[in-house]
A and B are shown apart, each in its own frame.
Chain A
Amino acid sequence: MLRTLTRKEALAHLLSLRFNLAVALVVGLMVGGALLARGEYERQMDDYNAALAARQAAVADASASEGALFAVYSYLDQALMMRPTPLAFIAEGHQRDLPNAVEANAFRIQNVAVEQRGNPMMQRFGALDWSLVVSVVLSFAALVLTFDGFAGEKEDGTLRLVLANPVPRWMLVVSKLLGAWGVLMLGLAVGAILDLLILLPGGWLALDGGTLLRLAAAFALCGLYVALFVLLGLLVSARHGTPAAALVVSLLVWAVVAVVIPRSTVLVAHGVEKVQRQGEVARRAWQDAEAAQQEYLRLHPGGPDWFSGHWSPGESLDMAFAMWRAWQAPYDAWRAAQLRQVERARRLSFVSPAALLAAGLERVAGSGLTSYEQFLDAADRFREAMGEGLRARYPLDPANGYGRDQDADRRARAVRVSPAELPVFRPQSESAAGAVTAALGFGGALAALDLLLLLAAAVAAGRYDVR
């Protein structure tokens, strides 16, 4: 029985103009978005590879130079770059606006910046990714398909006919849900397959297990989100006497939930967290560094006390570490506050399922804020590994500088550094399983909302006056 009803619903949708218009728009946008994303990814990978090659060349130069220990670990600020994700077509996650480059040596990370990401003069209007297409267009289509599910059938008189048969009302709700949801997901699937056909040739996107898992998770998140709006349409339809009234109500809810709330997040950001100005942080960092130097000199009297800004021959290694650690701390706190500000604001926007979907898709695609956070963590781990490597190789007493001691200077300068032994920077490389697990929370929240609306729709349908 359920199958018959579902088939009837699905066929009615498939043959309708509104469905075909909506799906044409969805598929067209997805194809266009994939084409653009491919070009963008190619450009970003070129830049990334060029930056990587330049960094390796700089490391090789420094290793070959006289006094390699100082050149490699202290003088050279390695330019680390975030690796672009090939799944940006799912959720671009404002990658163009997020910092993607940082400079690091054994002592500190600095100059977190946005590099070579498109045109800064261009007005930003976001990207054409699945996140946008599903959260705005497909949800709109879901309401347009379902607003007359009950009210329309009542007007046509078919609802009483159907219910004259032994069909429980909950089954009617489920069949209408499955029918509309099924055809919408079919449209999305067509778009997804076309996307893959565009992206797979050329080897930019490898269809390995991880990618498949991420794609499946993204598809599932979209499915849960679309179901939400199908159910919303049915619920509103079962609460109103005429389809026109149902449509107005459901579309207004849609406009607020899918469009206005996600765009208003910035309004709450300033209230949830106070962030210092960059100038204040910089002043604080130098003050702390000088205080750390004084403290170090108090504990280790007698050594050379000058500090050139870069740890250099004759200077105490431990003092340089202490100073830069003190210098780094205010910056770390500052960046953590920046992240907290944006993350808390976004969490507040999770009252809108569209924000939940966007955050979930970003997590799955490996873009967005999380990828930036992971990039910073990776840079910090790299700095730490460099610091350990330097300590292990330094042949002299790290606590005290050697000043103008010619013999010590010769020993320090004689240390050879081979680029192969240096730590490798691994930019954010969250495993597919990890990303999908992290996205489960968003999926769970959407599923809970789905269940709630399903229940509400079933109750509303049960109480519906079909006359």
Chain B
Amino acid sequence: MKLVTVIRKELLGHVLTLRFAAGALFTLALFVAAGLVLRGDYADRVAAFREAEGTHRQALTSAKVYSELVVEADRPPAPLSVICQGVDRSLPTSSRFSILEAPTVSGAGATRNPLLAVLPTLDLTVVVQVVMSLLALVFAYDVVSGERARGTLALALANRLPRSTLLLGKYLGGMAVLLPLLVLGFGAALIVILSSPLVAFSLRDWTATGLVAAVAAAYLSLVFVLGMMISVVTRRPGTSLVAGLFAWVVLVLLAPQAASAAASALRPLPSERGRVLAEEQAGNEVWARLADYARAHPCPVAYPDQRLFNRERRSLYSGGIPFLSRLYSGPEEYVQWALAGLRFGLPLRLRAAESVQELRWRSLRAMSEQEGLARRLRMLSPAGLLYDAVATLSDTDAGRYLRFLAAVRAQRESLLELARADDGLDWRFFTRRAALEMPGLDELRALSDAGDAARLEAVLGRGFADEAAIDVSGLPAFRLPEAPVAERMARAGLDLGALIFANLALLLAAVVLFARSDVRAGGA
């Protein structure tokens, strides 16, 4: 009963102030404005994703031989990047691979202006992180020291009101102002965002959004409790405000930056240059072995006897190395030679692609470990905790990107399987007619020497244009699996635990300190 009275008094005390009116209006306006910008940005990225996906699916159905089958997988923007952008916008959005090439990544989420990265991000999470936390501090700094300075604290405690109840009432009263504001702001921003036809939340997204709101509430509560604790230990409201803002500057503005910077210094990334060189070396080794092979198995047809081939105007010259990517028809002996070379070379090139892929994973792992360290260091700051927990719950942290790359890797395995089942790693890698169907060298020479162009063309065929494209229906459509909320919760578990623990610990500390403090105005 007493608690309710205290809460009501605190609530009214906050709501009737100018700082509440100004702060609330400003925060709501900021939420709505941020919502508008985020909605536009997300709609842009979804449109770009759909366009790219369509183009890439189309491109997949035009390959005539397996060497040309280039798969490009696109990463859809995370639906909850409208709440917390995380690294969703700055990481590559598409990955491209083929039978011979390990996946490479390209593109970035900013489809119109990459320079916008220069301006600080302002998503809903940042509004909570910076602006609402400031508001929480402004409400909290004088809850105790203000009343002590005015002399009302001693009066209040002259009644039969336990100190812990008074402090708890002040805490709940403050939260009763902040939380509705948070819900209102979040709600207004979400209404703005969801008004776009391109944004649709699934049940999973709604659950995650609810959790995000809960984390934001826990963060604001932490800042409020911190402000209240400072208010208990300082004697004058002015001192409370200075100390509170000092702590805010350090914990909210400086600590996350310092933690990220410290992580990059403590665990530097291996040189990208080194990886590129290692990749080049893997490729060069294969070419060296192919060149050795070619010396032992010289080409049976001399360059540039191009009349004996149908290569569709492309130069036949492959440096005498039997590794072709596209040939419609030619002398049987030549095709047999190229096929033998392919059977020797393709396993080597597949292994090289495998090792290139491994090198890229290693570099990714180093980046991911560095970010992991930064994340642990950022746990020292409530603002860091908030952002990391929300980014994980929204699936806009690096985890989504790693999942995308794993899915790409699996898709390349599917591609290899498809090719293997269809002789795509054999003669269909570079041609559409088995070697035995090709005309013999002597026959072609005779026709060529006789100058019988029409017969020659009939024997060599008209080219790939008449051939149907490779049937890729056996290749499963690329899909990036969304992370279930439970898994996100598990990944954010440490941050969530720390947030709750810090709340309880500080609240307890504030209660203990308040019980021991001198409530008289003036005092020592």
Contact = CB atoms under 8 A, between A and B. Distances in A.
Given A127-B257, A267-B34, A121 B130 contact: no
A31 B357 CA distance: 40
A139 B95 CA distance: 46
A456 interface: no
A39 B112 contact: no
A251 interface: yes
A263 B120 contact: yes
Nearest to B267: A119
Contact of B118 (A51, A97, A123): A97
B524 interface: no
B521 interface: no
A123 B371 contact: yes
B242 A144 contact: yes
Contacts of B119: 265-266, 269, 342, 345-346
Q: How large is the interface on A (under 10, 10 to 19, 20 to 34, 35 or more residues)?
A: 35 or more
A87 to B, nearest CB: 17
Interface stretch (B157-165, B268-276, B338-346): B268-276
Interface stretch (B213-221, B243-251, B323-331, B414-422): B243-251
Contact of B37 (A33, A116, A136, A267): A267
B86 interface: yes
B246 A21 contact: yes
B261 interface: yes
Q: How large is the interface on B (under 10, 10 to 19, 20 to 34, 35 or more residues)?
A: 35 or more
Contact of B250 (A25, A93, A247, A277): A25
Given A32-B258, A122-B260, A368-B118, A244 B371 contact: no
B236 A244 contact: yes
B114 A99 contact: yes
B463 interface: no
Interface stretch (A70-78, A196-204, A252-260, A292-300): A252-260
Question: Which of A51, A116, A252, A263: most chain B Cβ within 10 A?
Answer: A263
Contact of A263 (B117, B126, B378): B126
B81 to A, nearest CB: 13
A243 B240 CA distance: 13
A372 B130 contact: no
B284 interface: no
B116 A342 contact: yes
Contacts of A260: 130-131, 134
Given A140-B246, A147-B238, A278-B111, A126 B265 contact: no
A3 B236 CA distance: 32
A457 to B, nearest CB: 20
Interface stretch (A42-50, A61-69, A411-419, A431-439): A42-50
A449 interface: no
A56 interface: no
A266 B37 contact: yes
B411 interface: no
Given A119-B370, A264-B122, A338 B87 contact: no
B168 interface: no
Given A118-B264, A120-B91, A266-B119, A244 B391 contact: no
A142 B54 CA distance: 57
B79 interface: no
Contacts of B120: 126, 262-263, 265-266
Nearest to B263: A122
B19 to A, nearest CB: 8
Interface in B91-119: 91-92, 111-119
Nearest to A140: B249
Contacts of A132: 253-254, 257
B137 to A, nearest CB: 9
A137 interface: yes
A46 B253 contact: no
Contact of A122 (B238, B241, B249, B264): B264
State the 8 A-B residue pairs at the shortest beta-carbon distance, nearest first. Answer: A97-B117, A121-B398, A125-B257, A266-B119, A275-B112, A125-B256, A338-B113, A94-B118
Interface of A: 18, 21-22, 25, 29, 32-33, 35-36, 39-40, 43, 46-47, 50-51, 93-94, 97-99, 114, 116, 118-128, 132, 136-137, 140, 144, 147-148, 243-244, 247-248, 251-252, 255, 259-260, 262-267, 269-270, 275-279, 337-339, 341-342, 345-346, 368-369, 372
22 contacts: A47-B271, A47-B272, A93-B118, A94-B117, A98-B115, A119-B264, A119-B269, A119-B371, A121-B370, A122-B371, A123-B86, A123-B378, A124-B260, A132-B253, A244-B237, A247-B241, A251-B245, A255-B245, A259-B253, A269-B116, A277-B112, A342-B119
Given A94-B118, A132-B253, A338-B113, 5 more contacts: A46-B273, A124-B117, A125-B256, A128-B257, A244-B236
